[in-house]
Structure 1
Amino acid sequence: MESKRQQKFAGVIQEDLAAIFQREGMNYLPNTLVTITKVRVTPDLAIARVFLSFFNNGNTAQSLATVKQHASEIRYKLGSRIKDQVRVVPQLEFFVDDTSEYVDRMEKIFDKIHREEEQKDSE
């Protein structure tokens, strides 16, 4: 369970990373909208795990690899934004947030179950 300090720090990182991707995301991934869905920070605030969602993109694995290639540059830009608020800028680890895909898959399963129940009731 995250402490209030971790949650607050994660919120700051999420907000600033969102601004960085909004302004300069086109340099890394043209024609792709990148959303920071969640940030988790370790208790010592040294590592930030950033969960990304990509829209208008066919290959999320390649997009994630591109973001990981630019991780040091993104960390530098984050550091210039939060340098007055923290002692150490955390290392950034990027992951794909597949929550929307999971929700779509679950909705399809529920629809299938619902249709099967309707067919049984009509018989």
Structure 2
Amino acid sequence: MRTEAPTQRQLRVGEEIRHILSDIFRRDMIRDYQLAGVAITVTEVRVSPDLRNATAFVTRLGRNDADKLLPALKRAAPFLRGQVAKAIRLRVSPDLSFQADTSIDYAMQVSTLLHRPEVARDLDETAPRPE
């Protein structure tokens, strides 16, 4: 399976949608009881080549329970799509879907592994090597 790199337009539209969604979440504009007062961070938005679908990767800083918010975000998707349509100039506003961003959790696991004493010792170039 070959995947092509996103075009400049896809990247630009994805970044613009990310900013719009981040602003909506920052201003707490969604009237869903599960999302009220919840700090949601949009880490990335990937847009399909035809710009009709966009997947927003979301997380909650300091917490790893963003997947619990996905049903509420799915319910809010039509409202969010309307807000994106008002803010961005596209022929068709993309359908929005949401996924929990696990890259921060993965980075934390890697960091924890790299700071283990036996790994840190191997990474330290000045430490004497066991023979």
* Range class of TM-score, shorter chain: 0.7 to 0.9
Equivalent in the alignment of 2:10? 6
Distance of 2:102 and 2:121 partners within structure 1:
27
Report the CA distance between 1:90 and its aligned residue.
0.2
Equivalent in the alignment of 1:87? 91
- Do the aligned partners of residues 99 and 25 (structure 1) sit closer, same or farther apart at CA in structure 2, a change above 3 Å counting? farther
Gaps of 5+ in 1: none
Q: Detail structure 1 runs of 4+ shifted over 4 Å in the superposition.
A: 115-118
Instruction: Tell me if the contact between 2:13 and 2:47 (Cα under 8 Å) persists in the aligned partners.
Output: yes
Q: CA RMSD, aligned part only?
A: 2.5
Report the CA distance between 1:25 and its aligned residue.
5.2
Equivalent in the alignment of 1:19? 23
Q: 1:35 aligns with which of 37, 41, 50?
A: 41
Distance of 2:108 and 2:63 partners within structure 1:
17
1:72 matched to 2:78? The reply is yes
1:45 matched to 2:38? The reply is no
1:16-49 residue CA offsets vs partner (Å, 9 max, x unmatched): 1111111125644233211111111111000011
Compare the two structures and name the one with the higher strand fraction.
1
1:47-83 residue CA offsets vs partner (Å, 9 max, x unmatched): 011111113656322212211121111111221222x
- Do the aligned partners of residues 58 and 106 (structure 1) sit closer, same or farther apart at CA in structure 2, a change above 3 Å counting? closer
Equivalent in the alignment of 1:104? 108
Instruction: Tell me if the contact between 1:32 and 1:57 (Cα under 8 Å) persists in the aligned partners.
Output: no
Question: What TM-score do you get using the length of structure 2 for normalisation?
Answer: 0.77
Identity of aligned residues (%): 25
SS in 2 for 1:70: helix
